Structure formats: C-alpha cells, structure tokens
C-alpha cells in the first residue's frame, strides 16, 4: 500500500495571517493519491481546497499563507522540508498544475510557444529548436489543430477552451507523475467542459499519471474520479470511493451536496440546498464545524468535534460525524482513525 502511494498529505495545516491574528484555512488534512489514480477534492468555495493544492505545490509565496504543520510526502520525500531550489525541480516537472482561470493564467505579452518552451528547456534541458518541436508535439497531444502556427500566437488570440488546452499542454510537457487540477473546467462553457474532461481522462490513461482534481462539481467527480475526499471548513469530512460516495454518503454534508445536484428527470420546483453558509474561519463553532447547518445535529455535536474515523472498519471509507461513530450496540466511538 505505502509503496503504491504517489502523494500523501499528512496532517497538513496552513495558516493565514490576518489583522494581527491568524486563521487556519487548512486544518489537519489527510489524504493520499495512489499512482495512476484520480482523487477528487470536493467542497464549497472557501473550504480550503485551493489552499490545500497551493500548499502541496508550495506556491503560497505572495499570499499571507504559510504551512504551519504536517507533511506532504511525494514519492516518499517530505515537500514541506525541501529547500526552495529542490522544490523548483519538482514543480512543473514531477508535479504540474492546471489552474481555474485559463483567461488570466497565461502571460498576455509572451507567445504561446515561448511559455510552453520554458518548462521544457528548464526541466528537460532541450535547446530552443528541440523545445519548440516538443512544444508543438504537446499541443498536438492535447488536440490543438494547426499547432505549428498556434505557437506563435499570443494568448488573447485564443478562446478560453483553447487556452485551457494550452495550460494542460504546459502541465503535461515534462511528463509529470502528478497533475493537480484546480477547477479546470469551472470557467468554461459546458460543451467545452466535456471536451476538456475527456482530454484529461485520455491523457491520464495514456501517461498513467496520478491526478488531484479539485472541484465543486459532483458531476465532474462522478465522471473523472476513482476516490473522493470531501472538505468542509478546512477539514476532511469524508473519504470514499466514488461509488460508495454516491450510493451511501455518510456525512450529512456530503448528503446535502449530493441532494443539491439538480436532477433533470425529477419534477421538482425548488432546488435543494444546504441552508446557511460556510463558517467564517476566524469564528469557528466549537464542536463539529458543520453542526450549525446540519439537519441531524445533536447535543454532542455542539461541544465536541468528531475525528475522521473509518466507517464500518473499512480503511478506504472515512467520515467525520458522530452519527456514523455511534454504533447500533450503543457503544460510543468505534475504530479510531490514525494516519498510516
């Protein structure tokens, strides 16, 4: 099991300085990604998904954020302890990232080819000519027609979908082992979304990469992922295989998320939603962070926060809820979860 792990996030804690104090945006997050696996990271805006991904890549520079605890093990080595120069060798090479906003994620004053060649020359050591050829090859790989001409274009000459393909090409260019995709299709039209997801799945299978797919769209999760981690208020609240998550969601938050997905076949007038908002990170409730919005809230939820524990003794199925921890025999907690 351990040998198969590509990335292991272990108790990751990221804090942001704000007004003299600090708030914890990511608080003790645990998950792992196996080789060749797609892990979905799901949650509402502001739940710490993106901060988690930036923490893994150590791209928190120029934000007030800082990793204050835990470890991020990539192929065994702890990224949080690496020197910046060693981290640079991993960024863009073994671990690459695709961002949410294709419209603003490319530099407007540099040609597409130039931007693509940068990581290729840096990490693969190619000369200009060879890097350009490789860039064109990669653009073809992501399904861009007339790639030979497009390398000399500027970003503003391309559509959003094309730019996201360029971003994917850029991430793919140095044959990464892990791709972190932060809401890669959120900013795109629905038809383009499907194309980009198809492309990402095809590439993932061809190149046997691991992928961390950050999204708030459960449709994307169902289509792309092997396993899912659900985050709420900076914590993991549920972990499951995609099948289990949709068939038997354990955590009330996950249940709410699944219920909120509009279903075409059912004739309902109102959209389901989870009432209330994500709590302000500086004014967190004392017990379970979801308690104020939870339809099943109990006395205990308000005073003590549950741990993330295995459900029914399965190692691949975890939930952070008192409901799943009080078993039918009347006992209290069962199967305390501990990091491997």
Partner 1 sequence: MGRYALQRLIGIVPLLFIVSVLVFMFIHLIPGDPARLIAGKEATLEEINQTRVLLGLDQPLWKQYLSYMKDMFQGDLGNSIRSGLPVTEMMKSRFLPTLWLTLLSMAWAVVIGVVIGIVSAVKRNKWPDYAGMLIAISGISIPGFWLGLVLIQIFSVQLGWFPTGGIDSWKSYVLPSLTLGAGIMSMIARFSRSSMLETMREDYIRTARAKGLMEFVVVGRHALRNSLIQVVTIAGLQFGFLLGGSVMVETVFSIPGLGRMLVDSISFRDYTVIQAELLLFAAEFILINLVVDLLYGVLNPKIRYADN
Among 32, 49, 73, 91, binds partner 1 (CB under 8 A): 91
Taking the complex as a whole, how short is the minimal distance between the CB of residue 117 and partner 1, in angstroms?
A: 10
Residue 18 within binding range of partner 1, rule CB under 8 A:
no
Q: Is the separation of the CB atoms in 214 and 53 below 8 Å? A: yes
In the bound state with partner 1, the residue whose beta carbon lies nearer, of 93 and 300, is: 93
The Cα–Cα gap between 4 and 2 comes to 5
Residue 80 within binding range of partner 1, rule CB under 8 A:
no
State the pairing for strand pair 77-78/65-74: antiparallel
Residue 226 within binding range of partner 1, rule CB under 8 A:
no
Among 119, 249, 252, 279, binds partner 1 (CB under 8 A): 119
Q: Is the separation of the CB atoms in 155 and 163 below 8 Å? A: yes
Query: Which range, of 2-10, 88-96, 222-230, 272-280, touches partner 1 by CB under 8 A?
Result: 88-96
Report the first-to-last Cα separation within the chain, whole angstroms. 10
Taking the complex as a whole, how short is the minimal distance between the CB of residue 90 and partner 1, in angstroms?
A: 7
Q: Interhelix angle for 112-124 vs 128-141, to 10°? A: 110
Taking the complex as a whole, how short is the minimal distance between the CB of residue 268 and partner 1, in angstroms?
A: 38
Residue 96 within binding range of partner 1, rule CB under 8 A:
yes
Q: For 275, phi and psi rounded to 5 degrees?
A: -70, 155
Q: Report the half-sphere exposure of 201 (CA within 13 A, side-chain side).
A: 14
Residue 92 within binding range of partner 1, rule CB under 8 A:
yes
In the bound state with partner 1, the residue whose beta carbon lies nearer, of 173 and 215, is: 173
Residue 97 within binding range of partner 1, rule CB under 8 A:
yes
Residue 159 within binding range of partner 1, rule CB under 8 A:
no
Among 62, 299, 328, 332, binds partner 1 (CB under 8 A): 62
Query: Running DSSP on this structure, what letter comes out for residue 298?
Result: -
The Cα–Cα gap between 143 and 139 comes to 7
Contacts of 89 (CB under 8 A, 6+ apart): 123
Residue 126 within binding range of partner 1, rule CB under 8 A:
no
* Token pair recorded at residue 2: 């351990």
* Token pair recorded at residue 141: 């790989």
In the bound state with partner 1, the residue whose beta carbon lies nearer, of 8 and 117, is: 117
Q: Is the separation of the CB atoms in 181 and 200 below 8 Å? A: yes
Among 6, 90, 197, 199, binds partner 1 (CB under 8 A): 90
Positions that interact with partner 1 (CB under 8 A): 57, 59, 61-62, 88-93, 96-97, 99, 101, 104-110, 118-119, 122-123, 154, 156-157, 167, 170
């Amino acid at each position: 099991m351990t040998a198969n792990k590509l990335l292991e996030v272990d108790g990751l804690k990221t804090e942001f300085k704000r007004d003299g104090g600090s708030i914890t945006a990511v608080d003790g997050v645990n998950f792992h990604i196996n080789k060749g696996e797609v892990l979905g990271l799901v949650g509402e805006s502001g739940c710490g998904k993106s901060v988690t991904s930036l923490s893994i890549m150590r791209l928190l520079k120029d934000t007030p954020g800082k990793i204050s605890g835990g470890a991020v093990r990539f192929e065994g080595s702890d990224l949080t302890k690496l020197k910046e120069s060693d981290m640079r060798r991993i960024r863009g090479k073994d671990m690459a990232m695709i961002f949410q906003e294709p419209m603003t994620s490319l530099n407007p004053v540099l040609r597409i080819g130039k931007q693509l060649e940068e990581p290729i020359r840096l990490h693969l050591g190619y000369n200009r000519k060879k890097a350009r050829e490789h860039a064109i090859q990669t653009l073809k790989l992501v399904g861009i027609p007339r790639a030979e001409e497009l390398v000399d274009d500027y970003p503003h000459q391309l559509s959003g979908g094309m730019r996201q393909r360029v971003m994917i090409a850029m991430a793919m260019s140095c044959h990464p082992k892990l791709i972190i995709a932060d809401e890669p299709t959120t900013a795109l039209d629905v038809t383009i979304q499907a194309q980009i997801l198809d492309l990402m799945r095809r590439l993932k299978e061809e190149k046997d990469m691991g992928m961390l797919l950050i999204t708030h769209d459960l449709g994307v999760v169902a289509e792309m992922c092997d396993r899912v981690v659900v985050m709420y208020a900076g914590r993991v609240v549920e972990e499951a295989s995609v099948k289990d998550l949709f068939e038997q969601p354990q955590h009330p938050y996950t249940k709410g998320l699944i219920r909120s997905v509009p279903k075409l076949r059912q004739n309902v007038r109102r959209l389901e939603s989870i009432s209330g908002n994500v709590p302000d990170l500086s004014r967190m409730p004392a017990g379970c962070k979801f308690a104020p919005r939870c339809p099943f809230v109990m006395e205990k939820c308000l005073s003590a926060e549950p741990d993330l524990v295995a459900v029914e003794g399965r190692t691949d199925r975890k939930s952070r809820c008192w409901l799943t921890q009080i078993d039918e025999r009347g006992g209290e907690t069962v199967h305390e979860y501990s990091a491997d």
